[in-house]
Structure 1
């Protein structure tokens, strides 16, 4: 920054000196991670120390000056007795300043800059700062006025020496500072405005820099940090959702559950059940794994959805052996593709069309030539994507049931997909699933995904899409939009559009709707005119009420397909559910209550309570128990066509059993 610009900004700000201190630190004493509450000067008198400002380390001795901005992290480790002054100040731009001044401050902001140097003429600075500290301690009105004058004189002398010695101030990395601040204080109430204020910058400037470097917004990143911490606590403790919510920064369990689904793609309870099932399965397979390691001397890595880092097994060098094999396979794959491209026939028609617009020629039954496109354009929330017209090798982290119903057998899916409850109950031929590879949990394992050479990848969580795109053509199709889920039939239609199989989808939807119409006739009269229906989910000692729209766990089947009338509360939920306390449950229940998870852990605490037993629907016996999370869930967990068919049969049979 030019000296004239530096001086210009000092002349257009209001300076408030916040504190002046004269400090001494003993030999080998430490000051760890002190976050500067304001811009600060540090002026050393004697001694030596290692001083760290954020990521910059400085060796200081007598008569050194350091400057850091608000929010920077200061650490000091002394080698000898260290004596120093510290001045904390705040600079505020005058409201009447010109627009170009404000723009210059946004771009440069010397009050946040970092620098450290040994002035050639330290004694004039010492005289100013010593007198400054003495006047500060007097705390009189006239003394405070003198403090401002002395501080300006100190700054004037310092700037002169700074630029004479050619010291170039270091602009702080706002993104690094923001990340550190968010991670350290994620449990606090935090807004974009409060983060920007802490870092002495505008919200727009911070947002632009953060998105360019982190590919997400500061508030979205804050949510990721909180949810990762919540996921860790879910797996490591038996704390309730309310307890976890309070410790990670959410107001209540409902807010935590809502955000958890947004970031992880599934509810906290289901996340915990899936992970526990995965751990139990690993434990059961351990003897076989140990035998494999002993015979083959290989090891594997696990790609986590928490820190995006490979977690290494304890076998040490054995991992390198496995990694070399994977790398070699990837290199061979790339060489094969390059050789294939080189050996392909050249384009002799002079066309400049790209592969995305290329076509192939086939003949119809009359021997006439027809044109078939090799690719098609699919519109997604992340823009248009060119996909193969007839993909042969599809990988997906959701939607396996949807794909199978369309006649598409994926080459790889997320672990949970291979153990979905509907597979056993629907009678789907298991031999057709044998070749589908297990690609782990969210996000799918990138190395395994690369080896499969997919020509199309479907991802349901936005933060994973960039990683998938490095492997192959990827379509982003969120399972959750905001905090609720689109209707199950709409989900099926959206999947079919990716593959150009809208006709097949509509054919099944028509058949399904006919079954629904027959089912409504069978249960007619069980829920009488004027009566309402509510759906309660009990899990881990918590109570959830499902919404009439945007819910799951059977909510679409009960409300939207069978047209059972919801309560007013269910109609006016902004999200797909509400997490409530047991005390207010009577306000949410209707004349008939469906209960999901009645046999799961913690359900008895709710169902055996006096409040529950006193509900009118319970007294009349108009309660319908269904579903269970269990180890791999049930047909109500997913909303693919197979699950919907099973859900319809289950709900209808339960209602008919009560009718008898």
Structure 2
């Protein structure tokens, strides 16, 4: 940038003096890594020092001026002592102005430049600085005005020297500054507009620089470095996913897990397991023990205290010292059960007649049990099939024809709706909010064993329940469960293998031969949906679109038309309310966005989940939110809250879907009135 353009900008900007300081370093003292809070002039008036501004070094002796922009790191050390003034200021482009001036401000950014020079009129500048300091310390408005006048006079001397000495300023790398900013604030939500303001450039300019230099947007790059940090913490620490999420700027483990898989191509737990073989740290098996894969929409991590797992990766050895002894009850129980099972099979093989040629492969190869009830009812000597073969994502599985002791780390609501009472589930299932609004007797829920809040379920407790079938929702836990009992893998969250809530019910029903019961409920539910559509008809007019946004907990998410959460399946898939194009194009079911791009995602009507939750008011009170067309027209519908244990919008089982349908319908009908 040439000096004439620099001077032109000085004639167009409004300058705000932020502070005027007079400081000194004694011999041997240092100023270390002071990050400039604004554009700064450093005026050395006495002594000598070694100064580093970011990566640029200056040796000063006597009168000297050093300039640096906001976010630059200043280091200074002296052997003999040094005295100096600092002027911190902010230059704001006064409007209106021409496009050329705006371009100079955005692209040249002279107030961020770094340079050093020896003034040719040092005493004049010193006298001006002394008077400027005195006026700045006065409280009157007239004194402040005089201070600004003196500052412009001081800048005049400076610009004159820049011209005479042909100083070529160093322009800091804005992209590198942005990356430094990201790393320094990695644990916080980082909005693009806030970062651009901190770097004193426009959002558009910052985005263009990233595209030019890295071929990626700033927000995409931020996601990548967050994932790199998360990956490092996964492998090298025993932190939980929730702890890591908070450390790298995500509101919960679910959000981290989804983003991690999107960027890394696999879940955090799979990533850690894959790299663990390359690490040779002592106690690695125990470190892995503290990890958990918690992609649930609402994490119990945030609601319940976590307890260290009692198992490592070696045959479920129970790691608890009692009186100095290491108990291995878990391994003993599994071994004992396995021996009993083998003995039962041996006796059955010796006493049973040879199978006929017409017997199915399932009947000849699968484990069978006696079904005295069926024999008594039929009065026939020929036993009914006691096992079935079902297809899963992990291949065909032979399961009991009529399992009586089912444990599941997910799907409790689905099972209960089908008339199946599990013997044990995770803690979170037992605390779901829909339970209180259902017609399920309290003693039924009380009879379901709590198998802990983590994945996998408490394995020793699971062994003690002697289940005949286990339903697992996370792939990496299936082998653990298979060592205890027959296990079926039904993924709840895993990427493309997930399904909608009705399809989930059908899958669960298929495992237990309850297809008729499932279809009966689905038919009744769809009739209620059709009735709800008629009641809300006309509220969303032809051509209008609907958006769903979840706010609070220092984050903001927009739900996709497919695969989203927080009631999106009810709003988009069941009630068929029309999504925006952005919602239709979302591949992951949701997108995390910053406030400045919110208008791009919002339709004519907005459903807001969590409007009363923590930090939601920051969005709802913003000018961006207030100027949204849907907000100005009053077409905003608040619903739901995380609360102490969430609400009916956290899960998608039949009980939750029934409540969601009523809630959304009533909200729209109330708005219609």
User: TM-score higher than 0.5 here?
Assistant: yes
Alignment of 1:3-152 (within 5 A): none
Matched, 1:270 2:298: yes
Kept in 2, the 8 Å contact 1:261–1:480? The answer is: no
What secondary structure does 1:372 align onto? coil
CA 1:261–1:605 in structure 2 vs 1: closer, same or farther (change >3 Å)? farther
CA distance in 1 between partners of 2:599 and 2:634 (Å): 16
Alignment of 1:162-561 (within 5 A): 232=240, 234-235=242-243, 238-239=246-247, 241=249, 255=263, 259=267, 266-267=294-295, 270-271=298-299, 274-279=300-305, 302-303=310-311, 316-318=321-323, 320=325, 323=327, 329-330=333-334, 333-334=337-338, 336-337=340-341, 340-341=344-345, 344=348, 346-351=350-355, 354=364, 356=366, 362=374, 372-440=384-452, 441-482=454-495, 485-561=498-574
Alignment of 1:565-580 (within 5 A): 565-580=578-593
Partner of 1:598: 611
CA 1:471–1:268 in structure 2 vs 1: closer, same or farther (change >3 Å)? closer
CA distance in 2 between partners of 1:279 and 1:407 (Å): 32
CA distance in 1 between partners of 2:246 and 2:431 (Å): 25
What secondary structure does 2:384 align onto? strand
What secondary structure does 2:637 align onto? strand
Kept in 2, the 8 Å contact 1:485–1:551? The answer is: no
CA distance in 2 between partners of 1:404 and 1:494 (Å): 14
CA distance in 1 between partners of 2:573 and 2:379 (Å): 48
> CA offset at residue 308 of structure 1?
11
1:348-379 CA distance string (max 9 Å, x none)? 53238635286978579897777521100110
CA 1:573–1:374 in structure 2 vs 1: closer, same or farther (change >3 Å)? same
Kept in 1, the 8 Å contact 2:303–2:644? The answer is: yes
What secondary structure does 2:494 align onto? coil
What secondary structure does 2:596 align onto? helix
Segments of 5+ residues of structure 2 without an aligned counterpart are 1-185, 187-226, 272-291, 357-362
CA distance in 2 between partners of 1:259 and 1:480 (Å): 11
1:73-100 CA distance string (max 9 Å, x none)? xxxxxxxxxxxxxxxxxxxxxxxxxxxx
Matched, 1:563 2:576: yes
1:67-125 CA distance string (max 9 Å, x none)? xxxxxxxxxxxxxxxxxxxxxxxxxxxxxxxxxxxxxxxxxxxxxxxxxxxxxxxxxxx
Q: Normalising by the residue count of structure 1, what TM-score does the alignment of the two structures yield?
A: 0.56
CA distance in 2 between partners of 1:252 and 1:351 (Å): 51
What secondary structure does 2:634 align onto? coil
CA 1:627–1:236 in structure 2 vs 1: closer, same or farther (change >3 Å)? same
What secondary structure does 2:578 align onto? coil
What secondary structure does 1:385 align onto? strand
Instruction: Count residues in correspondence.
Output: 416
Q: Normalising by the residue count of structure 2, what TM-score does the alignment of the two structures yield?
A: 0.55
1:18-53 CA distance string (max 9 Å, x none)? xxxxxxxxxxxxxxxxxxxxxxxxxxxxxxxxxxxx
Kept in 2, the 8 Å contact 1:595–1:626? The answer is: yes
CA 1:301–1:227 in structure 2 vs 1: closer, same or farther (change >3 Å)? closer
Segments of 5+ residues of structure 1 without an aligned counterpart are 1-186, 188-219, 283-299
CA distance in 2 between partners of 1:453 and 1:516 (Å): 40
CA 1:334–1:365 in structure 2 vs 1: closer, same or farther (change >3 Å)? closer
CA distance in 2 between partners of 1:223 and 1:379 (Å): 35
> CA offset at residue 442 of structure 1?
0.6
CA distance in 1 between partners of 2:403 and 2:600 (Å): 51
- Further displaced range: 430-439 or 350-359: 350-359
What secondary structure does 1:578 align onto? strand
CA distance in 2 between partners of 1:366 and 1:341 (Å): 25
